[in-house]
Amino acid sequence: MNFPGGGAGGFPGAGGIPSAGGSGSSATPPMPMPQGDPNVKMLQNLMESCYAKTVMSGGAGFALGGVFGMFMASMAYDTPYHSPQTGTPGQPAIPGIKPPVDISTLPLRKQLAHGFKDMGARSWSTAKNFGQVGALFSGIECGIEGLRAKNDLANGVAAGCLTGGILARNGGPQAAAIGCAGFAAFSAAIDAWMRMPKDED
């Protein structure tokens, strides 16, 4: 039996709403994205700026370094525990200075306290180093890319060389040259691998 407004199968449609299984021609189309929105353009320009890239790379390096430093600290619990300003093992005791103490001889509570303290210190130090390298490399590479108006392998190589030289500048010219060559080679290898054509399979 067919009802007024019913579909082809005799099932009623209510108030112009298409029945289940219909063609869906009256479905509400998705809302289109705003074209030429100044806020969207401003956000895109901000994300593509060298300042934003430097901050994001520094933050990512800081987070990665913190995790890496925490992992490395957790693998070093077999080292002896030294209090600040202690002498080396085997040296005669100095009045007023505690001799080195093996961490395994401490109570469990002190072992855990020392472990977490050492883990936090190493994680913080590694995070700062990774964040500095990431921010420095990204900022230099973005500046070189803007000056050359090109996006190729040479940008990463030059940025790696400058980054390595700046980080090793306190060790003298030879250390700066070695740092430059090392960072440049590493940047070239990573950039070349990232630019390799991906398999479609």
The predicted structure's pLDDT at residue 84:
39
**Cα-trace Rg, the chain:** 31
Angle at 17 between CA 15 and CA 18, to 5 degrees: 135
* 67 CB-near residues (< 8 Å, 6+ apart): 123
Better-predicted residue by pLDDT, 149 or 14:
149
Please give the structure tokens belonging to residue 181: 């060559």
- Beta-bridged to residue 6, according to DSSP, are 12
* pLDDT tens column, 178-197: 999 999 999 999 888 888 87
- Beta-bridged to residue 12, according to DSSP, are 6
* pLDDT tens column, 3-13: 455 554 444 44
* pLDDT tens column, 37-81: 777 777 776 777 888 888 999 999 999 999 998 888 777 655 444
* Short-list 168, 69, 56, 190, CA closest to 128: 69
> Does position 21 have pLDDT exceeding 60, yes or no?
no
Residue 158 CA to residue 152 CA, distance in Å, equals 11
Residue 36 CA to residue 150 CA, distance in Å, equals 26
Q: How confident is the model at residue 95 (pLDDT cuts 50, 70, 90)?
A: low
> Does position 111 have pLDDT exceeding 50, yes or no?
yes
The predicted structure's pLDDT at residue 92:
52
Side-chain-side CA neighbours of 164 within 13 Å: the count stands at 21
Quick check: helix, strand or coil at residue 50? helix
Q: How confident is the model at residue 152 (pLDDT cuts 50, 70, 90)?
A: confident
The predicted structure's pLDDT at residue 83:
42
Residue 52 CA to residue 34 CA, distance in Å, equals 24
Residue 122 CA to residue 95 CA, distance in Å, equals 30
Better-predicted residue by pLDDT, 140 or 17:
140
Place of tokens 């995790």: 67
Mean pLDDT of the chain: 75
